[in-house]
Amino acid sequence: MGKEDIEDIKEEGQQDGGQAMLSVEHLVKRFGTETILDDISFRVNPGEVLVIVGPSGCGKSTLLRCINALEDVQGGKILLNGLPVAEGGRKSPSVGTKIGMVFQSYDLFPHLNVIDNITLAPCKVLKKKRFLVEAEARELLKRVGLEGKEKSYPRELSGGQKQRVAIVRAMCMHPEILLLDEITAALDPEMVREVLEVVLDLARQGMTMLIVTHEMSFARAIATKVMMISDGHVVEEGTPEEFFTAPKTARARQFLNTFTYESVR
Amino acid sequence: MPDLGLNIIFKGKNFARLLGGLGVALRISLIAVAISIPLGLILGILMTRKNPILKAILRLYLDFIRIMPQMVLLFLVFFGTTRSFGWNLSGENAAIIVFSLWGTAEMGDLVRGALIAIPRHQYESAQSLGLSPAQTQIYIIIPQTVRRLLPLSINLITRMIKTTSLVLMIGVVEVIKVAQQIIEANRMKTPNGAFGVYLFVFILYFLACWPISMAARYLEKKWR
């Protein structure tokens, strides 16, 4: 390889943002004739927390589902460390376990207790020793304030506790990136707090995350970058300070206004 | 206290005859259950397939069997086939055929219900954790289906035991037929026998079905 070639590669690498962990390029998603996501491109670097906001039905959740290969895509590329996330309509086995996801609906397995919910995938997919995974799970449960709940079944837990277990379950697979899809949307305000504290803690530890949320103050606190999607397009992208204090587009201003109320007195 | 005619139960071989009658009823229902469960599992799984023609045929079978009174089915299979096809079915075999047809339809519907009741996000969270399709079935879907299914299928068994009382209409000597015979035979000496004998039959059915439905309730509670 000549010197020029190496220079070329270097330059290309720099254009790519160098060490982008996740890169989404010109993503198109349609359901039938309806276009849900139209030419979405962005990248996420290690340690970044990208918060995606936007009105309901704008395609935010679909975007996360596409990244996790739960939906097929009609165009564009989704790469994790340069490798495609989907292979033949399913999550690629090599890349798949590096993406963790927590959903809005409590998605714990109801027939398994907390510890079995957490240890199932590490034991069966990563073929780890059970006692090792269990020790780690106990440690993480303690950290999220669920010590002593190991033998409880999901039905015995509150919504907030279930979501914390779901986060621990995803973390025990040691994902490189964690996708959180409106994980507090179905919770009471107090439970929202306890779940979001756990997510803030993950961010402090440097976890790379993609978060879809309607909690604007949380978004502002945790994001390194905010992206707003509306009608399947990226409307605005920027730092949380820029986005929340001085949004550039009228659409973003209009959206942010829906979260504030004028006094009637 | 009025004479309830309870004494005839213990007269001669009456007690053993009544138990034998219950045995016939239980034999018919348990053989039918043993046939219905595997066939019902297959039927239920087929019913969740997307093929519209297959779906329509199975739907028709299910509705036909479930809507029709079991007695009409019994008469159709026992009397109908004898003349039309020249089959010489015994009452018991005819009963087993009818109860298997019925049980398969009911079981199939239970299996279908249990399968479609598994929320989509169970599949999705399994996939998100990296489980393969086979692992998802083994560790997530099948255990949940069985838990939903077992209490319901146990209830089906008690329903089948109860419904076997109809087979006396095609000449099978099961527990109610035995009871009728005993009451008839003692009409002159113990005219009040009907109450005592039927009460005893009632208790026999209860003793056969109660433990089964207790088991169903226990499993339902345990696996809620």
> What are the domain boundaries of chain A?
29-257
* Residue A89 and residue A104 in contact, taking contact as beta carbons nearer than 8 Å: no
Cross-chain CB nearest to A109 (options B122, B135, B223): B122
Q: Is B117 on the interface with A (CB under 8 A)?
A: no
Contacts of B123 (CB under 8 A, 6+ apart): B136, B140, B141
Task: Determine the Cα–Cα distance for residues B108 and B47; give it in Å rounded to an integer.
Answer: 8
pLDDT single digits (tens) A209-256: 999 998 888 999 999 999 999 988 899 999 999 999 888 888 888 888
- Indicate if the pLDDT at residue A3 is higher than 60: no
Instruction: With CB atoms and an 8 Å threshold, state whether B122 touches A107.
Output: yes
Chain B residue nearest residue A122, CA to CA: B129
Task: Determine the Cα–Cα distance for residues A109 and A115; give it in Å rounded to an integer.
Answer: 11
**CB burial readout A76-93, b (16+ within 10 A) else e:** bebbbeeeebbeeeebbe
Instruction: With CB atoms and an 8 Å threshold, state whether A70 touches B122.
Output: no
Low-confidence ranges of chain B (pLDDT < 70): 1-2, 224
Torsional sign, CA A90, A93, A99, A100: positive
Instruction: With CB atoms and an 8 Å threshold, state whether B223 touches A105.
Output: no
pLDDT single digits (tens) A25-68: 999 999 988 889 999 999 999 999 999 999 888 889 899 999 99
Check residue A1 and give its pLDDT: 46
- Indicate if the pLDDT at residue A13 is higher than 50: no
Instruction: Tell me the pLDDT band of A7, cut-offs 50, 70 and 90.
Output: very low
- Indicate if the pLDDT at residue A10 is higher than 50: no
Instruction: With CB atoms and an 8 Å threshold, state whether A124 touches B131.
Output: yes
Which residues of chain B does A93 touch, with a Cβ-Cβ cutoff of 8 Å?
130, 132
B-contacting residues in A 71-100 (Cβ below 8 Å): 90-91, 93, 96-97, 99-100
Q: Is B120 on the interface with A (CB under 8 A)?
A: no
B72 phi-psi bin (left φ>0, alpha ψ -120 to 50, beta other): alpha
Chain B residue nearest residue A166, CA to CA: B125
Please count the other Cβ atoms lying within 10 Å of the Cβ belonging to residue A163.
Answer: 30
Instruction: With CB atoms and an 8 Å threshold, state whether A93 touches B130.
Output: yes
The helix (H) or strand (E) run that includes residue A170 is helix A159-171
Instruction: With CB atoms and an 8 Å threshold, state whether A103 touches B224.
Output: no
Instruction: Return the CATH fold of A29-257.
Output: Rossmann fold (3.40.50)
Check residue A11 and give its pLDDT: 41
Give the distance from residue A93's alpha carbon to the nearest chain B alpha carbon, in angstroms.
7
Give the distance from residue A96's alpha carbon to the nearest chain B alpha carbon, in angstroms.
6
Token match 């739960």: residue? A70
Instruction: With CB atoms and an 8 Å threshold, state whether A103 touches B130.
Output: no
**CB burial readout B155-178, b (16+ within 10 A) else e:** bbbbebbebbebbbbbebbbbbbb
Kindly provide the ipTM of the predicted complex, given to two decimals: 0.82
Torsional sign, CA B195, B196, B200, B203: positive
Pick the CATH number of B6-222 from 1.10.3720.10, 3.20.20.80, 3.40.50.450, 3.30.70.2860: 1.10.3720.10
- Indicate if the pLDDT at residue A192 is higher than 70: yes
Give the distance from residue A200's alpha carbon to the nearest chain B alpha carbon, in angstroms.
22
Instruction: With CB atoms and an 8 Å threshold, state whether A124 touches B135.
Output: yes
Chain A residue nearest residue B222, CA to CA: A111
Order of strands, sheet of A177-181, starting from the edge strand that comes earlier in the sequence: A99-102, A177-181, A208-212, A49-53, A225-230, A233-238
Which residues of chain B does A103 touch, with a Cβ-Cβ cutoff of 8 Å?
121, 124-125
Comparing B142 with A19, the larger pLDDT belongs to B142
Give the distance from residue A204's alpha carbon to the nearest chain B alpha carbon, in angstroms.
24
- Indicate if the pLDDT at residue A145 is higher than 70: yes
* DSSP H stretches of helix in chain B: 14-47, 52-67, 70-75, 81-84, 91-116, 120-128, 133-135, 142-163, 175-185, 193-222
Chain A residue nearest residue B120, CA to CA: A107
Give the distance from residue B122's alpha carbon to the nearest chain A alpha carbon, in angstroms.
6
Q: What is the number of helices (H) and of strands (E) in chain A?
A: 10, 12
Helix, strand or coil, per DSSP, at residue A192: helix
* Residue A66 and residue A27 in contact, taking contact as beta carbons nearer than 8 Å: yes
Cross-chain CB nearest to A121 (options B124, B130, B147): B130
Q: Which of B121, B123, B125, B147 to mutate to test the interface with A (most CBs of A within 10 A)?
A: B125
- Indicate if the pLDDT at residue A193 is higher than 50: yes
Check residue A107 and give its pLDDT: 86
Q: Is A120 on the interface with B (CB under 8 A)?
A: yes
Which residues of chain B does A101 touch, with a Cβ-Cβ cutoff of 8 Å?
125, 128
In one-letter notation, the amino acid at residue A183 is: I
In one-letter notation, the amino acid at residue B198 is: Y
User: DSSP readout, B46-79?
Assistant: HHTS--HHHHHHHHHHHHHHHHS-HHHHHHIIII
Comparing A265 with A233, the larger pLDDT belongs to A233
Chain B residue nearest residue A101, CA to CA: B128
pLDDT single digits (tens) A64-112: 999 998 888 898 889 998 888 887 767 777 787 899 999 988 789 999 9
- Indicate if the pLDDT at residue A187 is higher than 80: yes
Phi, psi (5° rounding) for residue A66? -65, -40
Check residue A9 and give its pLDDT: 43
